Chain A
Amino acid sequence: MKAKDEELQNQIEKAISSDDGVDAYAYKIVFDTLRKEPDSYLSTNFADRVVQKIETRNESTNDFIWFSVGIFTFAIAAVIAIVLTDFKVSFGALKFLASYPGLFVFGIGFILALNWLDKKLVRPKTSI
């Protein structure tokens, strides 16, 4: 059975089959369909859309790089300003936090958890 099918497949692929049985006929139908080019489902400007996506992504990367450079420059400027003006930082108003380390950690954890839930549950439903 397998050998006969293999032979039939080979013959029909090479278009040299003289078999007129139902197996050969069914194989001809299968091979004709397999070779037939399917209808295209891609839009006519498919290539342009892909290129546009890449260019947008590159622009976002550039924006991020410039943002990082800005933050770095600001930090350097802040350090220089502190050194030149001999500025003293006072954390007096925040000293009470030292008495409640658990509350401080919980607060940060709570904010992070809310952000995570927002990203996972809320934004996917509201995004278009």
Chain B
Amino acid sequence: MTDDQALVSRITKGDMQAFRLLIKQHERLVSHMIGRLIDNAEDREELCQDVFLKVHEKLSEFNFQSRLSTWIATIAYRHAVNHIRKKKIKVSDIPDEESFTSHFVSIDNPEEQLEDEDMNELVLRFISWLPVQYKAVLTLYHLDGMSYPEIGIATGMPEGTVKNYLFRARALVKENVKKYLGKEEWL
């Protein structure tokens, strides 16, 4: 029996101390996903709580077809997307590459609004402008160290789409950083 199986078994028998341990083990993963996808800071902690309430409710149905962390990431991703839809924030379809690149990179004068922010905050701002699907893929890959197949399971995207979104998201952010660097040199 793996650690995850033993932990799940204890929780389904009503051991709340074991569930506390599960939360401690996975709160970073959930907070990464919710933090990147949800702009409103006031909603984030409550959404993270809702994710773990759902985990507790559905844990007896978890069949170990994937890793426990992947299953929890799936719940967090769906929960964030549902919240965005409920708040009537448009979950944009991924537009075609050329039009989106020109729109994303032509955002006017980022350096004028962001001159006091350091480069890290500037890049985070560029990331926040990306579509939800891109942000989810970036977060799971870079912050949570998930593989392409695991990200595919968590987000319901085919593996090829995961790779493509990851590449395009990084390229789009890079283009904006490059534009900013280019303007910085002129100043």
Contact = CB atoms under 8 A, between A and B. Distances in A.
A binds B: yes
Interface of A: 5-6, 9, 22-23, 25-27, 29-38, 40-43, 46-51, 53-55, 57
Contacts of B181: 22, 25-26
The secondary structure that dominates the A interface is: helix
Contact of B53 (A6, A41, A50): A50
B182 interface: yes
Nearest to A22: B178
Given A40-B31, A41-B44, A55-B16, A30 B174 contact: yes
Nearest to A9: B170
14 contacts: A9-B170, A22-B178, A26-B174, A26-B175, A33-B123, A33-B124, A34-B138, A34-B143, A47-B23, A47-B24, A47-B27, A50-B53, A51-B19, A54-B53
Residue of A6, A22, A49, A50 with most partner-chain B CB within 10 A: A50
User: Which 6 residue pairs spanning A and B have beta carbons closest together?
Assistant: A33-B123, A34-B142, A47-B23, A26-B177, A26-B178, A26-B174
Given A23-B174, A30-B177, A47 B123 contact: no
B27 A46 contact: yes
Interface string B25-44: 00110011001100001001
B45 to A, nearest CB: 6
Nearest to B16: A51
A49 B28 CA distance: 16
Contacts, number: 91
A42 B27 contact: yes
B111 to A, nearest CB: 14
Interface residues on B, range: 35 or more
Contacts of B53: 50, 53-54, 57
A25 B181 CA distance: 10
B174 A35 contact: no
Given A33-B124, A34-B138, A34-B170, 17 more contacts: A22-B181, A23-B174, A30-B174, A37-B143, A38-B143, A41-B31, A41-B41, A41-B45, A42-B27, A43-B45, A46-B27, A50-B19, A51-B16, A51-B19, A51-B23, A53-B49, A54-B16
Contacts of B27: 42, 46-47
A19 to B, nearest CB: 13
B171 A5 contact: yes
Contacts of A55: 16
